Structures are given as structure tokens and as C-alpha cells.
Structure 1
Amino acid sequence: MSEIFPKEIINLPEADIPLQGLKVHLSQGDNHQILFMEFSEDAELPEHSHECQWGIVLEGKIQLTINGERRTYMKGDRYYIQSGVKHSAKIYAGYADVTFFGEKDRYKKMGERNE
């Protein structure tokens, strides 16, 4: 997998997200998280909801179904999912993005325990 992120991002803690082929780095704020993600394999995420999510596609493509509407996003595209809106995703190998989550504890750092 080619690294598209600079060392400052690569040096951030990895997030504990159990998806095959995913490399993800986590920037943690007081009330949000920002993820820097790269996928080396296809992945599918079943329908779910959470606090707001905003992302920008850096490489590859993702197919999102948001509130029943399916759309494909490619390099340079942005998407926004409002809090509580049901959505699912098909992510293709080679996909990379930056994703903002409007919640501080959506994901744990690798090695942290759930309490």
C-alpha cells in the first residue's frame, strides 16, 4: 500500500477498527475525531448511524447509501452525513480519505481497552 500521508500523520496513533486491509491513523480532539484512512482491500459496512460525519476522498472511490440514496464518491469529492442518519458503504481497494466524526469516542486507539 502506498502511503499518501506525511510522517506527521503516520506517527499519530492507529485506531482500532477491525476491517481487513485498513490502515487508519487517529487525531483525537475534545469533542471529535479525525481519521486518516487507507484501504488495501474492498470493504463493506452494514447500515448504521452515529453522530455527524464529514469526509473528503483523497484516492479511489466509495459508494455510500445515505438515507436510502446511493451515490459514488471519487477523488476530490466530499460527503456529509447528519447525526442519526442511517447509512452504509462499499469501499474499494485503493480508497483513501480524511474523515471527521462529531464525537470524541467513536473509535479507540489501538491497544486501548473498552471500559
Structure 2
Amino acid sequence: MIPGAVSRLLALVGGARGPFTMVIAAEPDAVLLASSAALRRLGARITRYDVEEGTLEARQDGAMLRLTAVADGSGGSQLAIESDAPDGRRLVKRFRAELSRPAPQESA
């Protein structure tokens, strides 16, 4: 769907207290859809998906993840990722790697 856009990941910034932020060359709704698929491949359960608000919430191994996608004005989106996981940086690293991979193709 948007593997080419996701592969153009521009930045990843994170801190222990603030959300991780990724800039992705795709519209917010496409970013949320791709994020949802990536999180499911990692074993997360999607608990909330709101395209109008640009938010997605998921749970993985008891940890909550909240993603917020906002258009950045240049045809791309900023994706903020918040988590209450003790090792949030590792979780975001795994998510980023999964998001950058092309989606599996369905066999006919």
C-alpha cells in the first residue's frame, strides 16, 4: 500500500518522558492503516481506531500504545507514539522496523 512512502522515513526522535515522533511521507489515514497492520503483525491488539481524530490505540503484552497521525502540510504526516511500556524505546524500534517492511502479499 504505502511501503515506498514508509521507506522514506525521515526522522525518529524520542525521549524517556515524551512521545516518539516519526515523519512519514503519506497521508494520516494511510499512516494509521499501515500502523494498524504493523502492530497486528507484532502481536498487538487494536483497541481503538479513529480516522477522524487521527488516533489509534493498541495493547501488546499489557502495555498500551497510542498513535496520533497529523498532516504536516507537505503531503506527509507526523506520527506521535506514546507507550506506558517500561521499555518503550525497544517497542518503538520494533514497530518502526515492521512499519518500514512491505506488507505481505495475499495469495490468489
Q: TM-score, normalised by structure 1?
A: 0.36
Higher strand share: 1
- 1 or 2 for the larger relative contact order (CA 8 Å, sep ≥6)? 1
Higher helix share: 2
Is the radius of gyration larger for structure 1 or structure 2? Answer: 1
